[in-house]
Amino acid sequence: MTAATGTVGTTGTTGATRVAILGGGPAGLAAAQAALAAGAAVTLLDEGGRLGGQYWRHHEGLTDRRLQHGWARFERLRGVLDRAEVHTGASVWSAEASDGVVRLRAVVGAADAAGRVALDIEADAVVVATGAHDLALPVPGWTLPGVTTAGAAQALAKRDGVTVGRRTVVSGAGPFLLPVAQSLSVAGSEVVGVHEASRLGGLAAGWLPRPWQLVGKAGELVEYVGALARHRIPYRIGSGVVRVLGTDRVEGVVIAALDADWRPIPGTEREVACDSVALGHGFTPRLEVAIALGAVIEGDRRGRFVVVDESQRTSVDGVFAAGEVTGIGGADAALAEGAVAGFMAAGGALDDGRMRGPLAVRRRMRAFAARLERAHGIQPGWTSWLSDDTVVCRCENVTRRTIAVRADAPLRAMKLATRAGLGACQGRTCGRAVEAIVADAGGAPEGFDRRPVLAPVRLGEVAAVATGGPEQ
């Protein structure tokens, strides 16, 4: 094994505040820039092989330029990082905060390789900018090959230049479905239709009055709508995929009209042939790092986020949070919050002139996020498109019925009795759905977000903490 340990993050100007930034998406990058501007010694870590997070996911030789937005901003943010210590391919698997010192442990190397290099970061403050992942609600047949999340379709198209199928149905909720449809088209799949579960009433109350805020910039929205028109992609509101058809892989879907509660309206079902399906009903924040650091999380099963104050400070000294972990607001919100978090983590002041811009954007984007949730938020009727034997937990193949039967047990006991959420993804994929099913059956779910192992790590890499590991 080649594991080695080195304490870093202590470099930089002597006496400078050591700020560690976890996540290299829009929030983390903006945090790094602001922390550097405030004079901090910055260490940035991201699990991905490249910086950019979800929004700027890319590969130099593979990404189609048409799918990159705000690229100049990314290049500016990346440009200042030569003054920071940057680790990509760094999976942070443990995070602790005590007595004003933050400690992050990462393994660095090719994804999931054995014997990666151990990296031990000690800092005075940390910005948690771990982002979010798709929330795809279960649908009968969703375990068939060819069904992916909308984010997967986006990531594969952008990063690898591929699409899973040739005829794709996009279904879910929220403005994110638009760039996904565009990416699929550009990368080589016909998009048979985009199905938005929300109805016009919800949309009217939400972003329709201010559509230019949709993705932050009017240009981006206009471009997506243009792309839909150019590729002749139908966009249907108040409808969704309620069943995926096929035996060994996707052969089609059943689309139904959905009422305001997202309950399928009987008699409206129709079959559509396709070979792939992209599902995205929203996003789930990646909370485990913030929780491990002790930060207070608030919300219910419709959404739980890290609680932050005006300075993006969490309930724990020296721990800041920014971006999708604090609320789903899109890349512009993440950038603004990141700038505030980085600046404040470095010891800056909120009334500093440099904070005026980010604070204004943050205010505007938070209002937008609230409207987004009002317009597209998951409605409780969705569980009625499940059948008793629909697999809900994909890792352990646990059905709706199995979960509902033990819904009155405490969450921990329910999981151990049914195995729901106990598999490889640790409930990241099914957690919110399981909570909804438990709630339907009268139980009181307490949440799936606590995951002490923050990223995949091998036992030898964990053991190296105790044994010291061989020298680098």
Ligand X SMILES: Cc1cc2nc3c(=O)[nH]c(=O)nc-3n(C[C@H](O)[C@H](O)[C@H](O)COP(=O)(O)OP(=O)(O)OC[C@H]3O[C@@H](n4cnc5c(N)ncnc54)[C@H](O)[C@@H]3O)c2cc1C
Interface residue list for ligand X (CB under 6 A): 23-28, 45-48, 53-55, 90-92, 129-134, 151, 154-155, 176, 179, 215, 286, 289, 323-324, 330-331, 334, 454-455
- Pick 53 or 146: Cβ nearer ligand X: 53
Q: Under the criterion CB under 8 A, does residue 274 sit at the interface with other proteins? A: no
Contact with other proteins (CB under 8 A) among 75, 114, 201, 205:
114
Does 165 bind other proteins (CB under 8 A)? Our answer is: yes
| Interaction partner, residue 454 (ligand X, other proteins, none; CB < 5-8 Å by kind) | ligand X
Token duo for residue 439 = 């709630």
362 binds, among other proteins, ligand X, none (CB under 5 to 8 A by kind): none
Residues in region 379-438 near other proteins by CB under 8 A: 391, 394-397, 405-406, 408-410, 412-413, 416-419, 422-426, 428-429
Identify which of residues 121 and 255 has a Cβ nearer to ligand X in the complex: 121
Angle at 269 between CA 265 and CA 273, to 5 degrees: 150
- Residue 74 C-beta: closest distance to ligand X, Å: 11
- The closest of 219, 192, 214, 218 to 203, measured between CA atoms, is 214
Judged by CB, which is closer to ligand X: 186, or 386? 186
When CB distances are held under 5 to 8 angstroms depending on the partner's kind, the choice from other proteins, ligand X, none that residue 143 binds is other proteins
CB of 51 to ligand X, least distance (A): 8
Nearer to other proteins, 60 or 471 (CB): 60
What secondary structure letter does DSSP report for 116? P
Residue 121 main-chain phi, psi, to 5 deg: -105, 130
Is residue 472 part of the contact set for other proteins (CB under 8 A)? Answer: no
- Chain residues 280-309 in contact with other proteins, contact rule CB under 8 A: 286, 294
Residue 128 binds what, of ligand X, other proteins, none (CB under 5 to 8 Å, by partner type)? none
- Kindly tell me which of 136 and 372 has the beta carbon lying closer to other proteins: 136
Residue with tokens 């940057």: 86
Could you say which of other proteins, ligand X, none residue 92 binds, taking C-beta under 5 to 8 angstroms by partner kind?
ligand X
Q: Which of 94, 314, 326, 379 is the binder for other proteins (CB under 8 A)?
A: 94
DSSP designation for 313: B
Q: Nearest approach, Cβ of 461 to other proteins (angstroms)? A: 8
Q: How far is the CB of 154 from other proteins (least distance, A)?
A: 8
**What is the C-alpha separation between 35 and 33, in angstroms, rounded?**
6
CA-to-CA distance for 371 and 208, rounded, in angstroms? 9
SS3 234: coil
| 260 phi and psi angles, rounded to 5 deg | -65, -25
62 or 273, CB closer to other proteins?
A: 62
Task: Tell me the closest approach of the beta carbon of residue 120 to other proteins, in angstroms.
Answer: 10
Q: Which does 372 bind (CB under 5 to 8 A by kind): ligand X, other proteins, none?
A: none
Contacted entry of ligand X, other proteins, none for residue 55, CB cut-off 5 to 8 Å set by kind: ligand X
CA distance 14 to 33: 19
Nearer to ligand X, 63 or 383 (CB): 63
- Minimum CB distance to other proteins smaller for 259 or for 317: 317
Spatial separation of the C-alpha atoms in residues 49 and 61, rounded to whole Å: 14
Question: At closest approach, how far in Å is the CB of 56 from ligand X?
Answer: 7
Answer yes or no: are the C-beta atoms of 102 and 94 closer than 8 Å. Answer: no
Residues 193-252, interacting with other proteins (CB under 8 A): 248-249
- Residue by residue, DSSP assigns 187-230 as HT-EEEEEEE-S-HHHHHHTTTTSGGGTTSSHHHHHHHHHHHHH
- Give the nearer residue to ligand X in terms of CB position, either 43 or 54: 54
Burial of 204 (0-12, 13-18, 19+ CB in 10 A): exposed
Closest CA relative to residue 406, chosen from 395, 385, 427, 420 = 420
CB of 184 to ligand X, least distance (A): 12
The residue behind tokens 């030789």 is 61
Q: If contact means CB under 5 to 8 A according to the sort of partner, which of ligand X, other proteins, none does residue 323 touch? A: ligand X
d(CA 369, CA 143): 31
Tokens of 329: 């607001």
Find the binding residues for other proteins in span 130-149 (CB under 8 A). 133-134, 136, 143-149
Torsion over CA: 243, 246, 248, 250 (sign): negative
Among the listed residues 60, 99, 388, 471, the single contact to other proteins using CB under 8 A:
60
Q: How far is the CB of 440 from ligand X (least distance, A)?
A: 25
Token code pair at residue 273: 């042939």
Q: Under 8 Å CB-to-CB from 468, ≥6 apart: which residues?
A: 5
Taking CA atoms, 338 is separated from 27, 28, 59, 415, in Å, by 4, 6, 24, 36
Backbone torsions φ then ψ of 178, nearest 5 degrees = -70, -55
Largest CA distance in the chain: 70
Residue 393 to residue 339: CA distance in whole angstroms: 37
213 touches which of other proteins, ligand X, none (CB within 5 to 8 A by kind)? Answer: none
